[in-house]
Homo-oligomer: A and B are copies of this chain.
Amino acid sequence: MRSVKIGLMGLGTVGSGVVRILEHHREDLEKQVGSPIEIAKILVRDPGKERQIDVDRELLTDDPRHVLDHPEIDVVVEVMGGIDPARRYILEALERGKHVVTANKDLMAVHGPEILDLAARKSCDVFYEASVAGGIPIIRTLTESFSSDRITKIMGIVNGTTNYILSKMSRENADYATALREAQQLGYAEADPTSDVEGLDAARKMAILATLGFRTFVSLEDVDVRGITRVTPEDIRYANRLGYEIKLLGVAERFDDAISVAVQPTMISKTHPLSTVGGVFNAVYVYGEAVGETMFYGPGAGSLPTATSVVADLVAVVRNMKLGVNGRRMFSPYRQKKLLSADRIVSRYFLLLNVDDRAGVLARITQVFADFEVSLESVVQQPDAGGSVAEIVIVTHEASKAAMEGVVGRLRELPVVRRVKSVYRVEG
């Protein structure tokens, strides 16, 4: 049978992994799909550059036309990253009837509907398992394995950089700047770490997961995002003492037909399986009405893990080609989107306050919570070394986001409150 030809766009970390897997697992792949898979062209910025990977120089090109106009290329594998020109290339590939496999979370989170619509019209496949949580097959799990269930909660540690930083801060009591510097030295964080540490990368991935899990299109603007740059060693010490870890957690929830998606540093109980996910690993916890609690754990990034997902998608495309059913098995959201209002987003909260150290202060503060009908699980007051300032640690019972915004606003106005130092959502 004739070989299936692919055009690879990008030969960086993930692209090199794709080349390696296609080479190392050639025989197995051929057995599984019934024909050889061959790379016909590789788009790179500089074909003359020295490369770590052994690849036929003849395949390299810096001209996208050599991929897009190539008459024999069946599948375009886009692993360049970034919105443009990746978006243009993908749309053009689809226009020409080429299937697409991509690892591009930025693109799928923002332009997913446009790309998937065109693919459906052209009877082409677009698969993007590698765009979320690298080697963890969470997209296929949500769309196929849990097709029978109604998913009500998805919690994800989906950014390895921030998980590395927070794990290091927790384990070694390091401060944020030190942990970030080490992550940069090890290559786990980029020179400009903004997208990771401000939670944007995680927000894109959560938008994709919420779209698939809740079957409604969730855009990046729907995600409430807060990064980890203000997490302090003190916060982590308090968390540990109370039996929690602080993780940058994506939380997507559904009540009735309304949803909410947020990414924020969150205290998660050490008894929860997500709390043990350390270093650059990722994990996604899924709660379904019927299935209950499940969790999927694995490498969130890296050359070969991410390429494993890319090539598994490629196998799916080729199997569909053999059956003539491309473009027919793709997920499309069918629910109206309705966002939960702030009074219906409910969780427990942790607060750390600096207050005047004198009689009656605690009564004033707890009254604020009472005014907003937020009940408290624990309140611990400890005099500071300083003398005139006390530190108060509060953990609430379940309270709405709206009520907590009211509480925090009012606390900030109270003369006896010197500073609202930290507020964290609490899970597990």
Within the complex, which residue of B24, B291, B292, B334 is in contact with A31, where a contact is CB–CB below 8 Å? B334
**Beta-carbon contact of A25 and B292 below 8 Å:** no
- A298 CB within 8 Å of chain B: yes
Q: What chain B residues lie within 8 Å of A215 (beta carbons)?
A: 28, 31
A148→B147 CA distance, assembly (Å): 23
- A388 CB within 8 Å of chain B: no
Q: Mark A212-248, 1 if CB is under 8 A from B, else 0.
A: 0001000000000000000000000000000000000
Q: What chain B residues lie within 8 Å of A144 (beta carbons)?
A: 137, 140, 312, 315-316
Q: Mark A281-303, 1 if CB is under 8 A from B, else 0.
A: 00000001111111111110010
Interface residues on A, range: 35 or more
**Beta-carbon contact of A290 and B312 below 8 Å:** no
A277→B148 CA distance, assembly (Å): 25
Question: From A288, which residue of chain B is reached at the shortest CB distance?
Answer: B308
| A300-347 residues at the B interface, CB under 8 angstroms | 302, 304-305, 307-312, 314-316, 319, 323, 325, 328-329, 334
**Known contacts A25-B150, A141-B137, A146-B312, A305 near B325 by CB under 8 Å:** no
Question: From A18, which residue of chain B is reached at the shortest CB distance?
Answer: B148
A215→B295 CA distance, assembly (Å): 25
Q: Mark A339-367, 1 if CB is under 8 A from B, else 0.
A: 00000000000000000000000000000
- A7 CB within 8 Å of chain B: no
**Beta-carbon contact of B137 and A145 below 8 Å:** yes
**Beta-carbon contact of A304 and B292 below 8 Å:** yes
Within the complex, which residue of B28, B294, B299 is in contact with A291, where a contact is CB–CB below 8 Å? B299
- A109 CB within 8 Å of chain B: no
- A136 CB within 8 Å of chain B: yes
**Beta-carbon contact of A296 and B299 below 8 Å:** no
- A10 CB within 8 Å of chain B: no
- A185 CB within 8 Å of chain B: no
- A194 CB within 8 Å of chain B: no
A377→B5 CA distance, assembly (Å): 52
**Beta-carbon contact of A291 and B308 below 8 Å:** yes
**Beta-carbon contact of A297 and B295 below 8 Å:** yes
- A21 CB within 8 Å of chain B: yes
Q: What chain B residues lie within 8 Å of A288 (beta carbons)?
A: 308
A193→B293 CA distance, assembly (Å): 26
Question: From A296, which residue of chain B is reached at the shortest CB distance?
Answer: B296
| Chain B nearest Cβ from A420, distance in angstroms | 35
Question: From A149, which residue of chain B is reached at the shortest CB distance?
Answer: B308
Q: What chain B residues lie within 8 Å of A302 (beta carbons)?
A: 292
Q: What chain B residues lie within 8 Å of A31 (beta carbons)?
A: 215, 334
Q: What chain B residues lie within 8 Å of A312 (beta carbons)?
A: 144-149
Q: What chain B residues lie within 8 Å of A298 (beta carbons)?
A: 291-295
Q: What chain B residues lie within 8 Å of A316 (beta carbons)?
A: 144, 147
Residues on A close to B: CB < 8 A?
17, 20-21, 24-25, 28-29, 31-32, 129, 135-137, 140-141, 144-150, 215, 273, 276, 288-299, 302, 304-305, 307-312, 314-316, 319, 323, 325, 328-329, 334
Instruction: List 9 A-B pairs, minimum CB-CB distance, nearest first.
Output: A137-B145, A148-B311, A294-B298, A290-B304, A135-B291, A291-B308, A295-B297, A148-B312, A147-B315
Could you jot down 27 A-B contacts, CB within 8 Å? A21-B148, A21-B290, A24-B289, A25-B149, A25-B150, A28-B215, A29-B147, A29-B148, A129-B145, A135-B294, A137-B144, A140-B140, A141-B141, A141-B145, A146-B308, A147-B315, A148-B309, A148-B314, A149-B308, A273-B276, A273-B297, A276-B276, A289-B304, A292-B298, A295-B295, A295-B296, A323-B325
Known contacts A273-B276, A292-B304; 9 additional CB pairs below 8 A are A20-B290, A24-B289, A25-B148, A140-B145, A145-B312, A146-B308, A148-B307, A148-B310, A295-B296
